[in-house]
Structure 1
Amino acid sequence: MTEIVLENLGKKFGEFTALNGMNLTIANGEFVALLGPSGCGKSTTMNMIAGMLDPTEGEIRFSGKKMNGVPMGRRGVGFVFQNYAIFTHMTVRENLAYGLKAQGESASQTKRRVDDIAELLQLTDLLDRKAAGLSVNILQRLAIGRSAVVEPSIFLLDEPLSNVDAAFRSVMRSELKALQRQFKQTMVYVTHDQLEAMTMADRIAVMDHGKLLQVGTPLEVYNNPVDTFVARFIGAPGMNLLKGHVGSADGAASVDLGATGRTKVVDAKSKGDVIFGFRPEEVKPDPKGELHMAVTMVEHIGARTILHLMEGQHEAKAVLPAGSDVPNQGDIFHFNVPGTAVRLFDATTERAL
């Protein structure tokens, strides 16, 4: 296992800054997801960890050893790409054994480890098949197995499931986590899919425009986003964010949301304009609720129903259990939001208060 330390890490391509002053420590055996939209710098970060790119500034250390300038082949890193890069003229067995043979492993040891990883990834029945003609799902599983079988101390995965179907993606999330636990590898996983990050990672590093915005466990990032970008990006749907004004009503702090209503808040540390945040799952229907919005659309999605709400310039969503007393499109929906579920953000900086 290896600890990864990124200290003031930066990367420029000409005048363009792809990564700016990133500080992140990934512990031995930890599974960390680099999460963010396309172009946020997450793949650039991974490529520098791997040794495929040199930093413009800052340091990369593996268990205290400086890695700047060390070639990829000497870093003990396994890498799985989005496009899997399989040798299609070889069999599945030959692909899995490729790295082990390059390391000089014995034939018996190679066979044992190939058989073990094939069983773990459900490739045993395909070991003697040529890789050419296999489905995208199988090729991606094979790419993961080929890197994992050499048991690198660091395992890097760059959007490995983005090209596969939804059902397979769900299976592979479980298998990747099982793989990481079995080999106790330090794993860094690049994704734009917050569901992948939330379900697999020990911690999530949320990035945008070349900056690291927040690092924490999935629940920490979900419950306490540091700014409105993280609040919107994490969650499906993301957090509702309504412009409001903190004042006092009946001796207690409250947020005035204009035509939407006024609601009490706890721990309001400032007065004035704010952004009032709450998760769609925290909405509590109440005919006498303090807040109200018009229902513009109703989505029935399996075990839950999503209400699309609007009042003036305010838009929001509410998630209710399927089968509950759901209003119809055009109805006025009255609701409350528990004070403990409210998150307030500065109206100017959009940072959490």
Structure 2
Amino acid sequence: MTEIVMQNLGRDFGDFTALADMDLTIGSGEFVALLGPSGCGKSTTMNMIAGMLDPSHGEIRFDGRNMNGVPMAKRGVGFVFQNYAIFTHMTVRDNLAYGLRAQGVGRAETDRRVGDIAELLQLTPMLERKAAGLSVNILQRLAIGRSAVVEPAIFLLDEPLSNVDAAFRAVMRAELKSLQRQFRQTMVYVTHDQLEAMTMADRIAVMDHGKLLQVGTPLEVYNHPADTFVARFIGAPGMNLLRGTLRGGDTGHTVDLGAAGHCPVPTRQGGEVLFGFRPEQVHPDAAGPLQMTVATVERIGARTILHLAAGEHRAKAVLDSETPVPDQGEPFRFAVTPDDVRLFDPETERAI
């Protein structure tokens, strides 16, 4: 296991800043997901950890040792790419054994470790098959196994499941977490898929436009987003954000949402705010303080998603499929528990 420290880390490509002044510590044996949209800087960060790119400024340290300028081969990292990088002319067994043989591991130990990883990743029946012609799902499983079998101290995965089908992704999320716990590796996982990050990572580092916006456990970034980008990006659907005005009174503070109504909030501040609440935190209530019109009803298995409108406001509500809902065009009255409300500054878009 290895601690990774990135201090004031940045990378420029000409006039373009791909990563700006990142400060992040990944604990020894921790599983951290770098999460964000395409172009946010997450792959650039991983490539600098791996040694494939040199920082424009700042430092990367492994267990206190400065790694700037240290080649990838001497960093003790395993890397799984999005495009597999498998030797298709070799058998599955030879692909799995490749790194161990390069390290001079003995034949008996190589056979044992190849057998163990093949069993874990359900590759045993095809060990003698050539990699050419194997399905995408199997090739990605093989790529993960080839890097994992050498038991690197740091395991880097760059969107390894983006090309595989949904059923296989669900299986591999559990397998990867199990693999990390078994080998106790420090794992850094790049993804744009919040479900992957939320279900696997110990902590999530949310990035956008080359900046690190928030680091926290999955529940921390879900329940307490640092800004409106994190609020919208985390969650499916993301957090509702309605512009309103905080007002005080004898019975406490409320946020005035105009056509959508008023809602009590646990704050003593005043002024313009963005009123945030998760679609899952909407409670149908015939006497509720908020009301919007149902624009669309989506029925998705166990969930029903209501698309709501009131004046310029737009919001979503996620309800159990058994919950009765109004038809399109009808009013929907609801409540949001004050403790579930998150308020943001409309100018800075930071959490209040």
Query: TM-score, normalization: structure 1?
Result: 0.99
Q: Distance in 1 between matches of 2:87 and 2:331?
A: 59
Instruction: Specify the SS of the correspondent of 1:281.
Output: helix
2:306 and 2:316 in contact (8 A); partners too: yes
Q: Would you say 1:30 and 2:20 are equivalent positions?
A: no
Give the aligned partner of residue 270 of structure 2. 271
Question: For 1:170-205, what per-residue CA distance to the aligned partner results, in whole angstroms no more than 9, with x for missing partners?
Answer: 000000000000000000000000000000000000
State the AA in 1 paired with 2:213: L
Show the 5 A alignment for 1:217-296: 217-266=217-266, 268-296=267-295
Q: Distance in 2 between matches of 1:327 and 1:112?
A: 61
Q: Distance in 2 between matches of 1:324 and 1:231?
A: 26
Percent identical? 75
State the AA in 2 paired with 1:257: L
Q: Distance in 2 between matches of 1:121 and 1:42?
A: 27
Give the aligned partner of residue 150 of structure 1. 150
Q: Would you say 1:316 and 2:342 are equivalent positions?
A: no
Give the aligned partner of residue 56 of structure 1. 56
Query: How big is the shift at 1:288?
Result: 1.2
C-alpha spacing 1:283/1:163, structure 2 compared with 1 (3 Å)? same
Instruction: Specify the SS of the correspondent of 2:328.
Output: coil
Show the 5 A alignment for 1:39-188: 39-188=39-188
Question: After TM superposition, what 4+ stretches of structure 1 lie above 6 angstroms from structure 2?
Answer: none
Instruction: Specify the SS of the correspondent of 2:119.
Output: helix
C-alpha spacing 1:85/1:262, structure 2 compared with 1 (3 Å)? same
State the AA in 2 paired with 1:325: P
Instruction: Specify the SS of the correspondent of 1:252.
Output: coil
Query: How big is the shift at 1:306?
Result: 0.6
Q: Distance in 2 between matches of 1:231 and 1:242?
A: 12
Instruction: Specify the SS of the correspondent of 1:196.
Output: helix
Q: Distance in 2 between matches of 1:235 and 1:14?
A: 35
Q: How many residues align?
A: 352
Q: Distance in 2 between matches of 1:269 and 1:181?
A: 45
Q: Distance in 1 between matches of 2:301 and 2:78?
A: 38
Query: How big is the shift at 1:251?
Result: 3.6
Any gaps of 5 or more consecutive residues in structure 2?
A: none
Query: How big is the shift at 1:254?
Result: 0.5
2:253 and 2:268 in contact (8 A); partners too: no
Any gaps of 5 or more consecutive residues in structure 1?
A: none
Q: Distance in 2 between matches of 1:84 and 1:34?
A: 19
Question: For 1:293-352, what per-residue CA distance to the aligned partner results, in whole angstroms no more than 9, with x for missing partners?
Answer: 010111111111110001111000001101111111111000000000000000110100
